[in-house]
A and B are shown apart, each in its own frame.
Chain A
Amino acid sequence: MSERGITTEHRALMLEEPLIFEQGAEGRTGVDLPRPQTDDDRLGGVARRGPIGLPGLSEPQVVRHFTRLSQKNYAIDMGLYPLGSCTMKHNPRLNERLARLPGLADIHPLQPESTVQGGLELIDRLAHWLKTLTGMPAVAMSPAAGAHGELCGLMTIRAALEDRGDTRARVLVPESAHGTNPATATLCGYSVSAVPANRNGRIDLAALETALSADVAALMLTNPNTCGLFEDDILAVADAVHTAGAFVYVDGANFNALVGRVRPGDLGADAMHINLHKTFSTPHGGGGPGSGPVVLSEELAPYAPLPWVVHDDAGFRLVEHGDGKELGRMKAFHGQMGMFVRALAYMMSHGADGLRQVADDAVLNANYLLARLSDVLTPAYPGSCMHECLFDDEFLKGTGVTTLDFAKALIDAGYHPMTMYFPLVVQGALLMEPTESESKDSLDRFIETTRALAQRARDGDAAWFHACPQFAPRRRLDETSAARKPVLRWRPPDKDAAA
């Protein structure tokens, strides 16, 4: 059996777990359902024939399976998760409890409005917080995630331009932008022109002015940008864009650095999405769901997508059909209600003062990392940062260790790595975002670990780095063969081959 002299593949608490399809037995089920009272069929001749192939498992089998799987994940609940640009902050459990109240979780989106007044009021209240925090007069609540919000915002801009008979062909995107920005612009029918950064990692104002012309619809800008730096020319940038008759779209992924302190509306933003799953702590859930409301200027507000909530003497109403000026609809129903509840609970818990402290602490923590690591890693840009700090791979030069190796070594040291190789403008980038959730003790431990690893790289221990991680549930995985010969689902073993 095993070379380690034990008869299983398990290693203490690290339990190997086959797929559900490799377990179970025919006819077994983990749910005790009543029997149907009739076998009649009104399926109009399309009753399913033949089996589906799903495995039959009992409840204990299923509970064990997914508990074992969960133990193969790193999570913010386990430790510091410095994944830059992703804002991995603590997810308060009060918010989870509230989102599960039957009065919020168990209401149907098409119930009569009179029976969901509390739900509509909650959306309205969250909208008020978002507008006030950003200094913007309107908000579209329905987009399902950040990228979906970008699409909504940019479509709003295009609708407004077309309404004034202004057809424009291009969208400007800084080189350091998230990949969603150019992808979104293309979906809106725009071509994309890149705007270079200056030596300080900010948008090059002169280059921007050159790139601006009467065929530019919008500039898509992240602020603080993906290098963790505040765009300090932002007012001049916005002025230049507006003078050219274009709009400023702000990617709000990094709003955590500004919340309660700086209102994007005061910086010249015309539209901005807000990732509730970043700034307002709704859990990431291994990749989603998110929620991406978009705040809009007065000029763009009439083009906001359906639906929206209005309030009058009779109570709250949902406007589900517009006057034709609006964009249409971004998704079915009214938005990510489950995320709204969690975000509102987070906002109310923190209040205006607490949210301001969120930004303060997030920026303080990132600068502390930057200061304590600057002598061993190489900062990509001079000066302080906002909520995340960026290093390049200069400190690894000549060591035979890459950014990837360094990240994998952090795994063995018990941490989730930072964001690697993004933004693209920085060679071998390492982007760290500690968020406000970390204490000084926690940061100090991470700093000591990172410093020790940097020292080890300098000491010429490249082979050790190349072998990392050694203690994770899996060693490095072969992504090349995964992509060359994709196996994207389980299939029953070929009976002929087995015989």
Chain B
Amino acid sequence: MSDLRFTKDHEWVRLDGDVAVVGITDYAQEQLGDVVFVELPAVGKTVAQGEETAVVESVKAASEVYAAVGGEVVEINESLGAEPGIVNSDPTGAGWFVKLKVTKRDEFDTLMDKATYDAYLAEIS
């Protein structure tokens, strides 16, 4: 279990060995409002860092979720299909989107840590 890293598009990523868990941040779910639908990729698909990997929808908005790190999709959060509201209630826990088998570990290291992300949030809001 390692700490969370963040992107400027408000995704978070956590590394469990060579598997990266990706989701959207509390700030992102707050901006979106009630999440009503999450479109997830097929397991087995390979995505590059920064590539679109999921779509998250509220009543009035739809946002792309980008792969915070590159890799192969090894698992998707099936429970979001029936209960998309988990993204709102527990964005960095049960509301995760995809698990990626990481190919380039150094991509993780380029992302913001919590302090940097908090400073970034303070700057944009």
Contact = CB atoms under 8 A, between A and B. Distances in A.
* A–B contact, 8 Å CB criterion (strictly below): yes
Interface of A: 421, 479-480, 483-484
Contact of B84 (A421, A479, A484): A484
B37 interface: yes
Contacts of B60: 421
14 contacts: A421-B60, A479-B59, A480-B33, A480-B34, A480-B36, A480-B58, A483-B36, A483-B37, A483-B57, A483-B59, A484-B34, A484-B36, A484-B37, A484-B85
10 smallest A-B Cβ distances: which pairs?
A483-B36, A480-B34, A479-B59, A484-B36, A483-B59, A480-B59, A480-B36, A484-B84, A483-B37, A484-B85
**Range for the number of chain B residues in contact with chain A:** 10 to 19
Interface of A: prevailing SS: helix
B42 to A, nearest CB: 23
With most chain A CB atoms within 10 A of its CB, the pick from B33, B36, B84 is B36
Nearest to B59: A479
Interface in B30-63: 33-34, 36-37, 57-60
B39 to A, nearest CB: 13
Contacts, number: 16
A155 to B, nearest CB: 26
A183 to B, nearest CB: 13
Contacts of A479: 59
Q: Which of B33, B37, B59 has the most CB of A within 10 A?
A: B59
Contacts of A484: 34, 36-37, 84-85
A480 B34 CA distance: 7
Nearest to A484: B36
Contacts of A483: 36-37, 57, 59
A483 B33 CA distance: 13
Contacts of B84: 484
A468 B84 CA distance: 28
A351 B82 CA distance: 58
A479 B85 CA distance: 13
Best-surrounded residue of A421, A479, A483 (most CB of chain B within 10 A): A483
Nearest to B85: A484
Contacts of B34: 480, 484
A78 to B, nearest CB: 27
Most chain A CB inside 10 Å of its own CB: which residue of B33, B34, B85: B34
A479 B57 CA distance: 13
A480 B33 CA distance: 9
Given A480-B34, A480-B59, A483-B36, 13 more contacts: A421-B60, A479-B59, A480-B33, A480-B36, A480-B58, A483-B37, A483-B57, A483-B59, A484-B34, A484-B36, A484-B37, A484-B84, A484-B85
A170 B33 CA distance: 33
Contacts of B36: 480, 483-484
A421 B33 CA distance: 15
Interface string B55-77: 00111100000000000000000
Q: Which of A421, A479, A480 has the most CB of B within 10 A?
A: A480
B32 to A, nearest CB: 11
A484 B34 CA distance: 9
B115 to A, nearest CB: 29
A479 B36 CA distance: 9
Contacts of B85: 484
Nearest to B88: A480
B79 to A, nearest CB: 13
B78 to A, nearest CB: 16
Nearest to A479: B59
Nearest to A480: B34
A421 B84 CA distance: 25
A480 B59 CA distance: 6
A482 to B, nearest CB: 8
B55 to A, nearest CB: 14
A480 B60 CA distance: 10
Interface in B66-115: 84-85
A208 B55 CA distance: 31
A72 B84 CA distance: 32
Contacts of A421: 60
A483 B34 CA distance: 10
A419 B85 CA distance: 28
Nearest to A483: B36
A484 B36 CA distance: 5
A483 B85 CA distance: 11
A484 B59 CA distance: 9
A27 to B, nearest CB: 41
Contacts of B59: 479-480, 483
A155 B55 CA distance: 29
